Amino acid sequence: MAAAEGGGGGGGGGARPETTVQRTELGPLLATALRPGESWYLVDSRWFKQWKKYVGFDSWDMFGAGDPSLFPGPIDNSGLFSDPETQSLKEHLIDELDYVLVPTEAWNKLVTWYGCIDGQQPIVRKVVEYGLFVKHYKVEVYLLELKLCESNDPDNVISCHFSKADTVATIEKEMRKLFNIPAEKETRLWNRYTSNTYEQLSKLDSTVQDAGLYQGQVVLIEAKNEDGTWPGQHFLAKGSGFVCNSYNCRDSASLSQPGLCGLSNLGNTCFMNSALQCLSNTPPLTDYFLEDKYEAEINQNNPLGMRGEIAEAYAELIKQIWSGRQSHVAPRMFKTQVGRFAPQFSGYQQQDSQELLAFLLDGLHEDLNRVKKKPYLELKDANGRPDSEVAKEAWENHRLRNDSIIVDIFHGLFKSTLVCPKCSKVSVTFDPFCYLTLPLPLRRDRLMEVTLVYADPQHRPVQYRVVVPMMGAISDLCESLSKLSGVPAENMVVTDVYNHRFHKIFQMDEGLNHIMPKDDIFVYEVCKPSEDGSEYVTLSVYFREKTMRQSSNTSGTILFGQPLLISVPKHKLTVDHLYSVILERISRYVKLPLEEYSTPCLDKGTCNGSNGVVEGDIEEMEHQDGGQEGKEKLAEVDPCHSEGCMQIETPRDLQPYKKQHFTFSLVNSSGTSEINSIVEGKILKLNAFSALAIDWDSDTRRLLFDEQEAQAFEKHGSMLQPQKKKAVVALRDCIELFTTMETLGEHDPWYCPNCKKHQQATKKFDLWSLPRILVVHLKRFSYSRYWRDKLDTVVEFPIRGLNMSEFVCDPRAGSYVYDLIAVSNHYGAMGVGHYTAYAKNKVNDKWYYFDDSSVSMASEDQIVTKAAYVLFYQRRNNEEHTAPSPPQEECDGMDTN
């Protein structure tokens, strides 16, 4: 049967080797290491996963046999495009989740075997090198868009895309070509990043990345005049200014308040701006840099540091922010320096503000480490010694190797206790920390939006919002939907519909973690009446329109509409019966002349519904006939050329059908290739969820198919109800959860020195000492193989009087009372969204909201939100401790006033 599968498509698709050969040939290629300059190709992960299942690629397929019914058809990347016409990529696509990367040789093989959807261009990208000391390679999926113009016509802007590894010389060469500037003419390039600020791009061998160019930046070229002058002398004279250093030093008529200085977004750099504003408003650190104390402490020879360059770049930026001369600056050179040492931050994709903060604190620490030569120290176990002695020893050892302003301000000490479950050996260690990462109490439930397609053909599909267990199964989804709809759970089939086909049909025991928030989930009511105990088979049915290609004079098909699931008794699996069942199912939106309706069929199955999937992802498939056998079968179907439709010869005893409006083909599960033609008059041997295509000619579809009604659906009350207010969690709940004893997982055991083997020990964290500046990271993002989630629980945290004393286990510790000084916020979903900051100005003690280049006044009641991600607290000094204690409710971690 596999040999008969047609699979071409627009891009060809030749003879395919056996699936075992495909596996063997592609396996090593997919494991190829990245090498700079090589080309890799993007493939939609949905197509690629189907190919893997078809050939049995993954190791958990015990026999490596694959599934012949999952033939993937031609390579289809339409799901990656935001615009099918220009084929521009959607923003924020995630590697492995949305696409997979394959090397050139693997791509060429896949195209030879399967072809591509007609008209789709390959998505090819280069491997580029990042990093100054540690070389780091990655495929540059998103190219940088620059806006190019001439100095004498700055309004005529042309957008061009460049790799971050391209040089300034490459940009110049492209601009000379675009603006017809002769090779002998001398030129200069300028970048413009505010309306009147320019900086010359003088180093032609600099890469786009090193030059600090960012997404959407305007680059201007000027050619020297015949008299030897530059046009720039004129356009810069109109009140414009050069850049005096790496930042935008515009002279502002009205001086702004020191510290109230925005940071320009250089292209997805709001995460960096948010972290920098929090650090900038940390008084002891900012005073250290403003008073130039850092200069004497720069450690240029620390192998773990960055030659002092991060410290110097940060100092320059802080001085700009606190100069009081600008309303905002563009931190371009700071970002360039960070990108050189931390390749993960070198691009222009959204990153995590806490990860940048962790890198920055570590980088500043090593650049400013007062220890020039770190001694080797052997770690000792507590061995029953008093905690105070072991803690003092651990802290002194830490200071012998790490002594910087960062340690002075941000470092505290954890106590970690491990107990062996077998021999009860207790191991106590003390470890320094720079910030507290606190877990949030996990949600147990999840809201899902699904569309129920009823068995009643006249019932429009209905969209529901259901509550399901976070780690539940498909059966839980069906039970929850059954309570709202009244449809028995056992009659439901849950599917993921994508591009007019079933991407996946779920089993009842499959986990809900396989369903992403963006998936279109349709639940079909499949009724199986107990009519004489017959065995039923459930079939997938796809709608296809037949097309003729003028160029090649070959026929193709386009998928459209919403697929059906129908349930038919095995003994009635004939073309005629299928035709009558389907005709009834689609009667709500396919209007036939009255006399053409057959008598309604007795067995009730599912009806088609619609979800409002917009038809627009056009896919054309070549039809192969599966060799001579297919041609003989097709010969039994008599084409009715005059009417442009296929007319099946009906048996004499079934006269109600005057004309067949569509024909049947047995197709692969994605509807892209025909496996076999359907022979009328015989009982068809079809398995559960075999896929049939019903093919319409264009005229019939246009005349009879009501697109609007096919896409119509209704909303259940659950969609309209305001969502329940999310539970509020107190910051102290997160701290208590952090300090709760837990048993280590089986994949994370501890080596017990007594038992001489790994054990699943119990582990408990306690806080021994806390720093002057306490940075609290709320762990909002969770990752798993199938699931990336953000917890948007509101965490109530106090603005003043956070009393941490009760959580500190050192009995001789003083009072630990903190006041909030800054918050890094994250709005939106994981991997995307926007970062901002709230911070308290140390000069006037007022709160402000920092949103990239914008700074505005804020009030305390705005600060506690579900967006709060990283909190900065400053410890009250000793003088303040003598002041009257605030009321208990202000000290219990709950106050938000």
Q: Determine the pLDDT at residue 178.
A: 92
Q: β-strand 88-89 against 81-83: which pairing, if any?
A: antiparallel
Say what the alpha-carbon torsion angle 441, 447, 448, 451 is, to the nearest 10 degrees: 170
Secondary structure (3-state) at 40: strand
**pLDDT, average across residues 326-339:** 79
Among the listed ranges 163-177, 543-557, 842-856, which one has the minimum average pLDDT value? 543-557
- How far apart (Å, rounded) are the C-alpha atoms in residues 562 and 499? 9
- How far apart (Å, rounded) are the C-alpha atoms in residues 619 and 154? 41
Q: Determine the pLDDT at residue 681.
A: 62
**pLDDT, average across residues 834-844:** 91
**pLDDT, average across residues 84-103:** 83
- Top pLDDT among 5 and 333 is at 333
Of 90, 221, 101, give the one whose Cα is nearest residue 160: 221
C-alpha to C-alpha distances, 772 to 162, 369, 824, nearest whole angstrom: 46, 18, 19
Cα dihedral sign for 808, 813, 815, 817? negative
Q: Determine the pLDDT at residue 798.
A: 93
What residues have CB less than 8 Å from 433, skipping those under 6 apart? 411, 412, 413, 414
Residue whose entry in the numeric block shows the structure tokens 């296929």 = 646
Q: What is the 3-state secondary structure (H, E, C) of 676-745?
A: EECCCCCCCCCCCCCEEEEEEEHHHHHHHECHHHHHCCEECHHHHCCCCCCCEEEHHHHHHHHCCCEECC
pLDDT at 770 over 90: yes
- Top pLDDT among 87 and 623 is at 87
Q: How many CB atoms lie within 10 A of CB 20?
A: 13
pLDDT at 235 over 80: no
Which span out of 14-28, 392-406, 428-442, 646-660 was modeled with the highest average pLDDT? 392-406
What residues have CB less than 8 Å from 740, skipping those under 6 apart? 764
Q: Determine the pLDDT at residue 874.
A: 95
- Top pLDDT among 745 and 541 is at 541
What residues have CB less than 8 Å from 338, skipping those under 6 apart? 272, 310, 313, 345, 346, 356, 359, 360, 363
Q: β-strand 834-840 against 847-851: which pairing, if any?
A: antiparallel
pLDDT one-digit tens code per residue, 668-686: 776 767 766 666 666 777 7
Residue whose entry in the numeric block shows the structure tokens 């993002």 = 781
Residue 271 — φ and ψ, nearest 5°? -65, -40
- Top pLDDT among 107 and 544 is at 107
Q: Determine the pLDDT at residue 677.
A: 62
Residue whose entry in the numeric block shows the structure tokens 């003598």 = 882
Q: Which pLDDT band holds residue 135 (cuts at 50, 70, 90)?
A: low
Of 275, 437, 300, give the one whose Cα is nearest residue 352: 275
Q: β-strand 536-548 against 555-569: which pairing, if any?
A: antiparallel
Of 561, 665, 558, give the one whose Cα is nearest residue 620: 558
Q: Determine the pLDDT at residue 346.
A: 54
- How far apart (Å, rounded) are the C-alpha atoms in residues 475 and 488? 11
Q: Give rounded-to-5 percent helix, strand, coil for the chain.
A: 25, 30, 45
pLDDT at 227 over 90: no
Determine whether 809 is an active site residue: no
106 token code pair: 């693997």
pLDDT one-digit tens code per residue, 346-361: 555 557 778 888 888 8
Say what the alpha-carbon torsion angle 324, 325, 330, 334 is, to the nearest 10 degrees: -60
- How far apart (Å, rounded) are the C-alpha atoms in residues 539 and 526? 10
pLDDT at 174 over 90: yes
Q: Determine the pLDDT at residue 678.
A: 66
pLDDT one-digit tens code per residue, 5-41: 333 334 445 578 888 889 889 988 988 888 888 889 9
pLDDT at 405 over 90: yes
- How far apart (Å, rounded) are the C-alpha atoms in residues 636 and 631? 9
Q: Determine the pLDDT at residue 455.
A: 86
Q: Number of H helices and number of E strands within the chain? A: 21, 46
Q: Which pLDDT band holds residue 601 (cuts at 50, 70, 90)?
A: very low
- Top pLDDT among 655 and 487 is at 487
Determine whether 459 is an active site residue: no
Q: Decide if 557 contacts 644 (C-beta within 8 A).
A: no
- How far apart (Å, rounded) are the C-alpha atoms in residues 288 and 673? 69
Beta bridge partners of 416: 429, 765
Q: Determine the pLDDT at residue 871.
A: 95
Average pLDDT of the residues of the chain: 76
Percent of the chain with pLDDT over 70: 77
pLDDT one-digit tens code per residue, 576-585: 888 888 888 8
Helix axes 332-341, 270-280, angle to 10 degrees: 100
Q: Determine the pLDDT at residue 533.
A: 64
Catalytic-role residue among 92, 136, 514, 834:
834
Q: Determine the pLDDT at residue 240.
A: 38
- How far apart (Å, rounded) are the C-alpha atoms in residues 352 and 271? 6
Say what the alpha-carbon torsion angle 656, 660, 661, 667 is, to the nearest 10 degrees: 130
**pLDDT, average across residues 367-381:** 79
pLDDT at 634 over 80: no
Q: How far apart are the first and last CA of the chain?
A: 72
- Top pLDDT among 200 and 39 is at 39
Percent of the chain with pLDDT over 90: 18
- Top pLDDT among 795 and 728 is at 795
Of 197, 194, 144, 187, give the one whose Cα is nearest residue 167: 144
Q: Determine the pLDDT at residue 809.
A: 87
Among the listed ranges 95-104, 404-413, 571-580, 841-850, which one has the minimum average pLDDT value? 571-580
Catalytic-role residue among 270, 278, 434, 752:
270
781 token code pair: 């993002």
Secondary structure (3-state) at 548: strand
Residue whose entry in the numeric block shows the structure tokens 């001369």 = 325
- Top pLDDT among 142 and 670 is at 142
Q: Determine the pLDDT at residue 281.
A: 95
What residues have CB less than 8 Å from 632, skipping those under 6 apart? none
What residues have CB less than 8 Å from 86, skipping those under 6 apart? none
Of 790, 796, 865, 860, give the one whose Cα is nearest residue 824: 865
Task: Spell 734-771 as b/e; 16+ CB within 10 A means b.
Answer: bbeebbeeeebeeeeebebeeeeeebbbebebbbbbbb
Q: Which pLDDT band holds residue 457 (cuts at 50, 70, 90)?
A: confident
